[in-house]
Structure 1
């Protein structure tokens, strides 16, 4: 793999990571309510899913998608249902400003559940699947990559995704600091929860 190809791939993955979609909206919702630190697990879950799709693309994701369509649908519905549940839970929560000041324990306890959530969101996102099936093969011949190239591509993809997604999270978290009153926090919860429900519904209704 040439330096130009590697750099172009990194930039493409960075742009892909911040393109509006279920994952980005979920990150924004989480960051607005709980801060950027709470998005680390969510981001790692997305990265794990994306790298898995990247590896599958190197070994014929199109064939796998054709033969395992039912499994992909099950993952999509699980991700959609989980997002709707989290949105409903967020709308019915009673988060106040004081809760965010002492939220370190909550961040730690939600880390692993965030990984699961992020994995389901990314794995069930049609945009992610189409990206690795359609775009990457036209961008580079994934089937001809050596094992060292595949390792390099996976590391670069992970880094680009982490920078892009956490950049979105940091931006949303800074905006949330403008919210000062309990009423505003409740409005924020309702708005963020509604976004997550809408994203979950989109995943379920758009195969």
Structure 2
């Protein structure tokens, strides 16, 4: 990956990490009730699960690209359409936030928080579909190697943790802002526009 591609990939994953969804809402609830430091294991568990999906997507894409060109073309188009779908859903899905009361707060140990975050992300198979759709924008799938996967995984892990902890800090320090449905709706519109733009790039920018 070039420096420009790496930077763009990093920013894209960061934006993906702060997009409203089950994981972000879990962080909002925990940050609003337990504080920022108790969000660290939850965010780390979500990030590790995402990295596993990312590696699986890289390996699967490389194998398909090398042996099944027509099938890879189908996946590329399906991935672009999926990004369009995500963008559409972000524009149309109503925002709902459920807070966790202190007397029902989850256990504060690291392992419990990590497993909760890991399962939140791992239980969502759409994550791997996102990476399958998104990776060809930044990586030459046909010449993908272990170093590329390592760099992509490292960048993604750092970007995910920064994004998720950013949400956690805001949840802890600016509760009223993040409880606003209007604010989350603006975030949805922004993220949805980015998803649609990424889908358009993937659909019309065919790799040689």
Q: TM-score scaled to structure 1, two decimals?
A: 0.61
**In the superposition, relative to structure 1, how do residues 20 and 63 fare at CA in structure 2: closer, same or farther (>3 Å)?**
farther
Residue in structure 1 matched with residue 34 of structure 2 by the alignment: 34
Give the SS at the match of 1:93: helix
Report if the CA contact (8 A) 1:59-1:143 is conserved: no
Give the SS at the match of 1:19: coil
Q: Within 1, Cα distance between the matches of 2:35 and 2:117?
A: 16
Residue in structure 2 matched with residue 21 of structure 1 by the alignment: 21
Structure 1 segments unaligned to the other structure (5+ residues): 65-86, 96-105, 179-187, 189-207
Alignment: residue pair count: 143
Residue in structure 2 matched with residue 75 of structure 1 by the alignment: none
Deviation at 1:149, TM superposition (A): 1.6
Report if the CA contact (8 A) 1:11-1:160 is conserved: yes
Report if the CA contact (8 A) 1:62-1:133 is conserved: no
Report if the CA contact (8 A) 1:58-1:143 is conserved: no
Give the SS at the match of 1:10: helix
Residue in structure 1 matched with residue 161 of structure 2 by the alignment: 162
Structure 2 segments unaligned to the other structure (5+ residues): 65-97, 180-208
Moved runs in structure 1, 4+ residues, more than 4 A?
61-64
Deviation at 1:168, TM superposition (A): 0.4
Residue in structure 1 matched with residue 47 of structure 2 by the alignment: 47
Report if the CA contact (8 A) 1:36-1:170 is conserved: yes
Q: Within 2, Cα distance between the matches of 1:23 and 1:62?
A: 28
**In the superposition, relative to structure 1, how do residues 26 and 63 fare at CA in structure 2: closer, same or farther (>3 Å)?**
farther
RMSD over aligned CA atoms reads: 2.8
Residue in structure 1 matched with residue 204 of structure 2 by the alignment: none
**In the superposition, relative to structure 1, how do residues 94 and 26 fare at CA in structure 2: closer, same or farther (>3 Å)?**
closer
Q: TM-score scaled to structure 2, two decimals?
A: 0.61
> Bigger shift: 40-49 or 138-147?
138-147
Give the SS at the match of 1:171: helix
